[in-house]
Amino acid sequence: VVETTIQELVSTRRKGWTLPQVFYTDPEIFEADLEKVFRRYWLMIGHASRIPKPGDWFVYRLAQDSYIIVRGKDGVVRALPNSCTHRGSAICITPEGHGAQLVCPYHQWVFDLDGTLKAARLMPPEFDKSPFGLKPAHCRVVQGCIFLSLAESPPDFEPVARDLQDILAAHELDRTKVAFSREYEIKANWKLIFENFRECYHCDGNHPELVNTIPWLSLHLSKERQAELDALNDSKRQHWERIGLSVGGTAMTRQVCHLSYRFVMREGFVSASMDGKPVAPLLGRLKDPDAGGVTIQMYPNCLVLDGCSDHFVASYITPVSPTLCHARVDWLVREDAVEGKDYQIDRLTKLYSITAQQDWTLCENNHAGVSSRAYRPGPYAPSEGNTELFVEWYLDQLTDK
């Protein structure tokens, strides 16, 4: 599928309907997705507490590219290409590690933690090392969350940074640690996963535990119950604003790639847990566990940065092929919390583990059916308006709008 054909394919797509099959399965469309979406936008790639000390690093992979995410001696987190400037060898060959410098395993060229080439053994004395550093990609850390852009000149990150800073300030996510994380291989095109995370048409039938904790996700509420929850949400939001907790309010549009807001959970629930009871110590400078739920999402790969007064969950994806996607989920608690004493992994992770598994299964089933010869695009329901919005945003990127 060449460029002109992509344009043609986009024009055959019926507004308000799912994408033609080729968008979910074709290798050339997948290449275009990498080029026009994943190597252009900001990607959530993890939490800075994975690399707390100078010299700590982990490797982030996107298709054939690999980056060393390393904390420098100056405390700054950088993303260095994992490809030696001598003959191109991968420099870091394990998923994570630590070192005072980065040494290429092939001929032992030595790079400083900021990418500068420090030593190139047995090269002639007149060899100028200065042009042979590893050139950092754009990397930003906000409230401990690491974002990477592989673009030469990335989209403006300030609106995202401002919103995250604003809504997460009291929770102090920069003073949390990853208490637990899990990686998943999902046999689905990345777009089906993002589509799924933009609608709750599927929630009643598939997420009983989540709907129990966050009842307004249900589309089957009586008018009275809906009015009750709306009133509760309004009064809580006023209360939170009065005590200095931001309620956010940024919504995704065809141009805005992220959202953030604070919402009410079930009456009496103070944590996004199975029973609504706390599962970890209060975060940051919060005094009252009743801080509601916070949700953040960002195109194209941050499915969820969700949390409450005592923990957060970050769930982010990296496409591997048209039919396979990698996901990582991190559970964050305050940095000084002690496992077994202040929190139990099982209680902390239960609600989102169950919910994530339900979603991956839905996405895999979706992909299996979409790959079938019987598949034809189908109409989105009114409650899938945000999914349609995502698809429109995606098509705008493919066609450089």
Residues that bind ligand FES (CB under 6 A): 84, 86-89, 104, 106-107, 109
272 binds, among ligand FES, Fe ion, none (CB under 5 to 8 A by kind): none
Contact between 378 and 195 under an 8 Å Cβ cutoff? The reply is no
What is the nearest approach in angstroms of ligand FES to the Cβ of residue 86?
3
359 binds, among ligand FES, Fe ion, none (CB under 5 to 8 A by kind): Fe ion
26 binds, among ligand FES, Fe ion, none (CB under 5 to 8 A by kind): none
84 binds, among Fe ion, ligand FES, none (CB under 5 to 8 A by kind): ligand FES
Site string for Fe ion, 327-366 (x = CB under 5 A): --------------------------------x-------
106 binds, among Fe ion, ligand FES, none (CB under 5 to 8 A by kind): ligand FES
In 3D space, the residue among 27, 3, 15 whose CA is nearest the CA of residue 391 turns out to be 15
Looking at beta carbons only, is 82 or 143 nearer to ligand FES?
82
Q: Does the footprint of Fe ion cover residue 384 (CB under 5 A)?
A: no
What is the nearest approach in angstroms of ligand FES to the Cβ of residue 96?
20
Q: Which residues on adjacent β-strands are paired with residue 315? A: 304, 329
Looking at beta carbons only, is 59 or 259 nearer to Fe ion?
259
Looking at beta carbons only, is 108 or 321 nearer to ligand FES?
108
Torsion from C-alpha of 79, 84, 90, 91, nearest 10 degrees: -70
What is the nearest approach in angstroms of ligand FES to the Cβ of residue 301?
30
Q: Which two tokens stand for residue 323?
A: 């039919």
d(CA 224, CA 334) in angstroms, rounded, equals 38
Looking at beta carbons only, is 22 or 90 nearer to ligand FES?
90
d(CA 345, CA 84) in angstroms, rounded, equals 39
- DSSP codes joined into one string, 87-136: T---S--SSEEE-SSEE-TTT--EE-TTS-EEE-TT--TT---GGGSPPP
What is the nearest approach in angstroms of ligand FES to the Cβ of residue 84?
3
What is the nearest approach in angstroms of ligand FES to the Cβ of residue 105?
7
Residue with tokens 């500068």: 116
What is the nearest approach in angstroms of ligand FES to the Cβ of residue 68?
13
Contact between 319 and 64 under an 8 Å Cβ cutoff? The reply is no
CA distances from 52 to 71, 84, 127, 175, 179 (A): 8, 25, 35, 11, 14
What is the nearest approach in angstroms of Fe ion to the Cβ of residue 196?
6
Contact between 87 and 78 under an 8 Å Cβ cutoff? The reply is no
Looking at beta carbons only, is 87 or 254 nearer to ligand FES?
87
394 binds, among Fe ion, ligand FES, none (CB under 5 to 8 A by kind): none
- Tell how many helices (H) and how many strands (E) occur in the chain: 10, 17
Residue with tokens 């260095």: 80
Residues within the interface to Fe ion (CB under 5 A): 359
